[in-house]
């Protein structure tokens, strides 16, 4: 994969660097942060440009590109490589991934939606409901990838003694945020609502993190006291972790994409012991439901 620096990406897209930084801070462009520097995958920039291509009403791309959009996940990234599927990734959050799936701009979307049910508890099938409500996805299928642990990512030693959102609110801890439409931000919103609070009650770090690892880096660098991400992201960054929930992390796709060779290569890995071993190494994963069909339209 070829990466471009900020200046190279600005030249490639024929944008000013200031405008490029605006797109980065709003989570509107694919990028990643490595040792404090923003890098831009050239291939995903091409896909990003194509995603905004104006088309006549009703016109869809005949075949979606071999890309998994939606949420970022370390085990999924490893699986895409290990399976030999040839599938790329475009990490923009669950809601954006589902939108791209509807427009045939990705072959699948990794999703973990969150909502409250009528009793005020976390809804167990929020991702299924999101798929049911999505227009133009009458042929959708939702395949379980794993269950994974989400919680508070904290500096080593948990110096502020944060053991839940109630402590974050009471102590005014600086909380790193994710961009709207990501599963982690949805989770934070519903947990706050359940506590009769909202993001306005938090001492927020203004610039949203684009991925869980980016959020963990903010905490590791001392720019935030906490944030919500996976146990795997916390462990990878050498940070402490307070568990909040186990969630379903799934792959949404059209039924015809399910049978494509690239997707079948990825799905075959879901039943392989290598996935279970890697999940155990990363920690915070339950691969037992991997490959199960959770919903089919």
Q: In this structure, is residue 63 part of a structural domain? A: no
Can you tell me the mean pLDDT for 156-161?
97
175 & 34 share domain: no
Q: In this structure, is residue 61 part of a structural domain? A: no
Range of the domain at 116: 68-296
27 & 125 share domain: no
Q: In this structure, is residue 173 part of a structural domain? A: yes
Rounded CA gap, 124 and 254, in Å?
Answer: 22
- The pLDDT tens digits of the residues spanning 175-197 come to 999 998 999 999 999 999 999 99
- The pLDDT tens digits of the residues spanning 237-294 come to 999 999 999 999 999 999 889 989 999 999 999 999 999 999 999 999 999 999 999 9
137 & 8 share domain: no
Q: In this structure, is residue 251 part of a structural domain? A: yes
Residue 197 CB burial class (10 angstroms; 0-12, 13-18, ≥19): middle
Phi, psi of 294 (to 5 degrees): -90, -25
157 & 275 share domain: yes
CATH number at residue 46: 1.10.10
217 & 84 share domain: yes
- The pLDDT tens digits of the residues spanning 48-77 come to 776 666 666 655 556 789 999 999 999 999
- Indicate whether 156 pLDDT > 70: yes
CATH number at residue 246: 3.40.190.290
37 & 176 share domain: no
Q: What is the enclosing helix (H) or strand (E) of 220?
A: helix 212-220
Q: For the chain, give the mean pLDDT.
A: 91
250 & 112 share domain: yes
Q: In this structure, is residue 59 part of a structural domain? A: no
46 & 93 share domain: no
82 & 35 share domain: no
pLDDT score for 27: 82
90 & 18 share domain: no
pLDDT score for 58: 58
167 & 227 share domain: yes
Residue 123 CB burial class (10 angstroms; 0-12, 13-18, ≥19): middle
- Indicate whether 46 pLDDT > 90: no
Give the residue with greater pLDDT, 120 vs 108. Answer: 108
Q: In this structure, is residue 57 part of a structural domain? A: no
Give the residue with greater pLDDT, 84 vs 50. Answer: 84
How many domains does the chain contain in total?
Answer: 2
78 & 9 share domain: no
- The pLDDT tens digits of the residues spanning 6-17 come to 999 999 999 999
Q: Are strands 140-154 and 227-230 parallel, antiparallel or unpaired?
A: antiparallel
pLDDT score for 50: 66
pLDDT score for 100: 93
pLDDT score for 34: 85
Q: In this structure, is residue 247 part of a structural domain? A: yes
């Amino acid at each position: 994969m070829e990466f471009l620096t900020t200046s190279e990406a600005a030249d490639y897209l024929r944008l000013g660097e200031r405008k490029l930084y605006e797109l980065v801070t709003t989570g509107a462009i694919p990028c990643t942060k490595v040792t404090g520097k923003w890098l831009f995958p050239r291939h995903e920039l091409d896909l990003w440009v194509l995603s905004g291509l104006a088309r006549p009403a009703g016109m869809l791309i005949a075949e979606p590109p071999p890309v998994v959009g939606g949420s970022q996940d370390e085990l999924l990234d490893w699986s895409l490589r290990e399976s030999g599927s040839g599938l790329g990734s475009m990490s923009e959050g669950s809601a954006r991934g589902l939108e791209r799936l509807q427009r045939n701009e990705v072959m699948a979307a990794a999703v973990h939606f969150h909502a409250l049910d009528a009793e005020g508890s976390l809804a167990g099938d929020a991702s299924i409901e999101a798929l049911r409500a999505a227009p133009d996805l009458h042929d959708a299928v939702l395949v379980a990838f794993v269950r994974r642990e989400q919680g508070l990512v904290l500096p080593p030693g948990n110096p502020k003694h944060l053991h839940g959102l109630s402590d974050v609110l009471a102590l005014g801890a600086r909380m790193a945020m994710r961009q709207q439409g990501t599963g982690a931000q949805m989770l934070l919103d519903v947990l706050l609502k359940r506590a009769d609070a909202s993001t306005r009650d938090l001492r927020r770090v203004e610039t949203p993190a684009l991925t869980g690892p980016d959020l963990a880096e903010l905490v590791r660098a001392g720019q935030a006291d906490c944030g919500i991400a996976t146990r795997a992201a916390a462990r990878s960054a050498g940070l402490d972790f307070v568990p909040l929930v186990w969630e379903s992390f799934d792959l949404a796709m059209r039924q015809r994409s399910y049978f494509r060779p690239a997707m079948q290569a990825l799905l075959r890995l879901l039943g392989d012991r290598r996935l279970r071993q890697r999940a155990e190494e990363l920690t915070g994963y339950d691969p037992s439901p991997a490959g199960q069909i959770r919903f089919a339209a």
